[in-house]
Chains A and B, each alone.
Chain A
Amino acid sequence: MALTHLKKPEATVRVSRRDFLAKIGWGSLLAAVGSFAAAFMRFLHPNVVTPSPGPVELGSPEDYAVGSLTFLDQARVYLGHDTRGYYAIIAVCTHLGCTPRLESNELACPCHGSRYSLDGQVITGAAKRPLDRALIWRAANGHLFVDRSHIVEADWRLRL
Chain B
Amino acid sequence: MSKPWWIFIAGATVLLAVGAIVWRENHRPWQAWQERYNLQPNVTPIAIGIKTLVPTRTGQPELCLTCHVGIEDISPSHPATAVGCVICHGGDPLALDAGRAHGNMHGGGNPSDLSVAMASCGTTDCHGGNADPEQNHVTRVLHSMPATYAGGIANVRYTFGAQASPAAQFAVHAVEDTSKPLPPRALTSLATLGTLHPIDAQLQQNCLTGGCHLWSPAKSEPYYYRSTGCATCHYLFDDEGLYRGNDPTIPHDQPGHGIVHRLTTAIPFTQCNHCHNRGTYSLKQMAFLPREDLPPAGPPLSAQMPAEGRRLVEYYQPVGDFTKCEIELNCIDCHTAQEVMGDGHIYGAKPDAYYVQCQTCHGTLTSAPAVETIRDANETAMRQARIDGHADFLSVGDQVVQTARGELLWSVKQTALGQFVQIDKVTGTTYKVPLVLGSRCAQDGSDQSAKYCHQCHYVTR
Contact = CB atoms under 8 A, between A and B. Distances in A.
Indicate yes or no for A touching B, C-beta below 8 A: yes
B159 interface: no
B177 A67 contact: no
B327 interface: no
A88 B442 CA distance: 64
A62 interface: yes
Chain B CB count within 10 A is highest, among A61, A65, A66, for: A65
A67 B170 CA distance: 12
A113 B178 CA distance: 40
B192 A67 contact: yes
Given A67-B191, A67-B192, A62 B174 contact: no
Nearest to A68: B174
Nearest to A160: B178
Contact of B178 (A62, A67, A68): A62
- The DSSP consensus for interface residues of chain B is strand
B110 to A, nearest CB: 20
Nearest to B190: A65
Interface of B: 174-178, 189, 191-192
A123 B146 CA distance: 38
A114 B191 CA distance: 30
A65 B178 CA distance: 11
Interface string A49-91: 0000000000001100111100000000000000000000000
B177 A62 contact: yes
Nearest to B118: A63
Contacts of B192: 65, 67-68
Interface magnitude class on chain A: under 10
A61 B189 CA distance: 13
A66 B177 contact: no
Contacts of B191: 65-67
A121 B178 CA distance: 32
A66 B189 CA distance: 9
Contacts of A65: 174-176, 189, 191-192
Contacts, number: 19
Interface of A: 61-62, 65-68
B174 A66 contact: yes
Given A62-B177, A67-B174, 4 more contacts: A61-B178, A65-B189, A66-B189, A67-B192
A61 to B, nearest CB: 8
Contacts of A62: 176-178
A61 B178 CA distance: 9
Nearest to B194: A67
Nearest to B175: A65
A18 B189 CA distance: 94
Nearest to A60: B178
B170 to A, nearest CB: 11
Contacts of A68: 174, 192
7 contacts: A62-B176, A62-B178, A65-B176, A66-B174, A67-B192, A68-B174, A68-B192
A67 B192 CA distance: 8
Contacts of B175: 65
A68 B190 CA distance: 12
A62 B179 CA distance: 9
Contacts of A61: 178
A67 B196 CA distance: 13
A22 B189 CA distance: 88
A117 B365 CA distance: 64
A34 to B, nearest CB: 48
A66 B175 CA distance: 9
A149 B177 CA distance: 32
A59 to B, nearest CB: 9
Contacts of A67: 174, 191-192
B224 to A, nearest CB: 28
Nearest to A65: B174
B3 to A, nearest CB: 52
A61 B177 CA distance: 11
A92 B175 CA distance: 28
A61 B175 CA distance: 12
A27 B178 CA distance: 78
A85 to B, nearest CB: 14
A2 to B, nearest CB: 94
A102 to B, nearest CB: 13
The 6 closest A-B pairs by CB, nearest first: A65-B174, A65-B176, A62-B178, A62-B176, A67-B174, A67-B192
A121 B383 CA distance: 52
Nearest to B174: A65
A104 to B, nearest CB: 11
Contacts of B189: 65-66
A66 B192 CA distance: 9
Chain A CB count within 10 A is highest, among B176, B189, B191, B192, for: B176
Contacts of B176: 62, 65-66
Nearest to B177: A62
B373 to A, nearest CB: 34
A65 B171 CA distance: 12
A69 to B, nearest CB: 11
